[in-house]
Amino acid sequence: MRSFFLFLGILNFSSLTLAAPSAFVSKCGALAIQNNTTSTLLRDHENCKTVWVLPPTFGLVNISGYMANGNLGLCQEVKDVQKLSHSLTERMNFISQEIMDLSVSYRERQKEVIETKKHVFNLENLPEIREIIDAEEKLSVMEKAIERLYSQLATCAADCPSLKEELRLKKEEKQELKGRLSTLKDHYFELARDHRLAKSKLESAEYALHNIYADIDSRNNKLTALKTTLQQWLLFYSKLEGGTAHLNYDTRWTQNITTLNERYKGQFDFKQVPTRNVRITANFVGSNDKESYLSSMPALLDYVIAGVKFTPWGENSPVEQSSLPSRLAGSVRLSLMGGCPLYYKNFLEADTLVKDDFKHKQLAFSINATYEYPAAFKFNVTARYNLYKMYEKIATASSEGGFFSRESYNNVVEDMDDNDQFSIEWNDEDEMYSRAEKDEIAKTLKGELIGRVLSSMATPVFSGDHHVEAIVPTRTASGAMVVAEGINQTCGFFNIYCQGAVWFIRGLDAIFGNDSAQSKFRQTHNRSAEERWSRTEAKWRSAATGFVNE
């Protein structure tokens, strides 16, 4: 099977006879050196002494300085609130235990009320007790009628004799009812006594149940008040500025090149691969709005990356630069909740506040960067595609939560029944490639287009694990990649994927969801486009790097 070649080149290369890095075996052969750096190395296609160095997959972020402010004088108060919070927490735990104990008593009383109600109900369904209850109800109605007549007589101006007569008759009926009720109770003495005692027991049980409920409710209110007090104290201090920390983001790209040139001085010339269209994104989203973010008592208030200010709530546009630098400068404005532990040694544990030198401290604040680097393809192909339809395919294939991983990548690339979004036309009249080779090339080109979509509509999320399986498609059998000592230590050359990274698709309903981003991408890219890959043209490929704590 003939091999096809894919190699890096400067964008305006007019011929492949010029020097250019190659990802596959070139005329110079494999690069037989030991690479202990974090960069992928690619040997030049023509100049056997030139070796191209790709940006590392991971960079480091470290604190390079800290500027304190006057609010740090309140750190002792923060400590005092911390101590007070311990006593409040103990009090809250005690109240919680009381509530648990009362809840046990409440359930016991509740069970007693239910059982007593059943007993009263059964008694009141007996004919004898039912007869007594009916007499009592009639007597109650009669007494209310007599009270009404007394009120009318007190204010009557006419027809008073008839009211007096009616009152006399009602009083006689009342006496008859009382006599009948007394007779019934004497006749059914034991049943009437049982009914009276059961009702009395039910009233006592219900009263006790009500009191327990009131005690539980009172303690819950106390618990809520204590929690609110504690949160208000901490929230006050968390909104105050606690100084600014200066951050240094370093990919160690320049360091890698220097190390390699020193080690192989006179044997090889190591150079940076050119980059463009750099988009830097902070890997931090706190909330959708300012109030809900600040109410979480955060350590960070806002931050600056490469001179651009961001807020940790809502949507921020990425920083764009013309090329990927080896180093970036950034800073974060801390609240007292973040500044006090950074400024003082062992702030959370120590009783006495002692200023720290910060040298041994880390501030977990990562950023990611996507970029493009030039590549040329040694085959003649015309591709027709629709990037928005490809985005829809990617979004549909993404895993739960909106993440696009290796599995979903393979599903999209392997699906060749998508002529509405991707098709290619071969321009090799001499049929220099077999069908299997053409299929592999088609997948490679499709991966290129997926990379373009991801660089515009996705955010890379790095796990920080340098040794996890690379999220890249299986390498083709044609040619050997010239990489560092073990593929796990470097960024894969084939496409935008790098070790330990998945991509969060923008425009989906999730934490980074943004319908406006999807709408803008649709307006720009929902069209049929045609592009030619040839032996004499270079393309720009997408890649990514992440800055993580050491």
- Reduced to 3 states (helix: H, G, I; strand: E, B; else coil), residue 345 is coil
Rg (CA), the chain: 41
- Which of 184, 215, 235 is the C-terminal boundary of a domain? 235
- What whole-number distance in Å separates Cα of residue 169 and Cα of residue 184? 23
- pLDDT, tens digit (0-9, with 9 covering 90-100), for 418-463: 666 777 777 765 566 777 777 777 777 777 777 777 766 666 655 4
Same structural domain, 51 and 133: no
Mean pLDDT calculated for residue range 134-142: 86
- pLDDT, tens digit (0-9, with 9 covering 90-100), for 78-115: 888 777 777 777 888 888 888 888 889 889 988 999 99
Same structural domain, 205 and 90: yes
- pLDDT, tens digit (0-9, with 9 covering 90-100), for 305-339: 777 777 766 566 666 777 778 887 888 888 888 88
- From the CB of residue 377, how many other CB atoms can be counted at a distance below 10 Å? 22
More confident residue, 521 or 412: 412
Residue 212 lies in a domain: yes
Same structural domain, 15 and 107: no
Residue 99 lies in a domain: yes
Residue 125 lies in a domain: yes
Number of domains the chain contains:
2
Same structural domain, 28 and 99: no
Say if residue 260's pLDDT is above 90.
yes
- What whole-number distance in Å separates Cα of residue 332 and Cα of residue 300? 7
Residue 153 lies in a domain: yes
Residue 439 lies in a domain: yes
What one-character DSSP code corresponds to residue 469? P
Which position has the token pair 């600040």?
A: 294
pLDDT band at 375 (very low <50, low <70, confident <90, very high): low
Q: Are 306 and 283 within 8 A, CB to CB?
A: no
pLDDT band at 287 (very low <50, low <70, confident <90, very high): very low
More confident residue, 271 or 378: 271
More confident residue, 135 or 500: 135
Same structural domain, 112 and 2: no
Residue 217 lies in a domain: yes
- Which of 199, 220, 235 is the C-terminal boundary of a domain? 235
Same structural domain, 30 and 118: no
- What whole-number distance in Å separates Cα of residue 46 and Cα of residue 40? 19
More confident residue, 122 or 85: 122
Residue 117, domain CATH: 1.10.287
Domain range for 196 is 80-235
Token pair of 524, please? Answer: 């720009």
- From the CB of residue 73, how many other CB atoms can be counted at a distance below 10 Å? 9
- What whole-number distance in Å separates Cα of residue 446 and Cα of residue 439? 10
pLDDT band at 535 (very low <50, low <70, confident <90, very high): low
Which position has the token pair 């928005």?
A: 388
Same structural domain, 40 and 178: no
In whole numbers, what is the pLDDT of the chain averaged over residues?
71
Same structural domain, 222 and 114: yes
Mean pLDDT calculated for residue range 482-504: 37
Residue 549 lies in a domain: yes
Same structural domain, 455 and 540: yes
Q: What is the pTM of this model?
A: 0.53
Same structural domain, 496 and 432: yes
- Which of 235, 258, 281 is the C-terminal boundary of a domain? 235
Residue 305 lies in a domain: no
Same structural domain, 406 and 549: yes
Same structural domain, 154 and 30: no
- pLDDT, tens digit (0-9, with 9 covering 90-100), for 340-350: 888 888 777 77
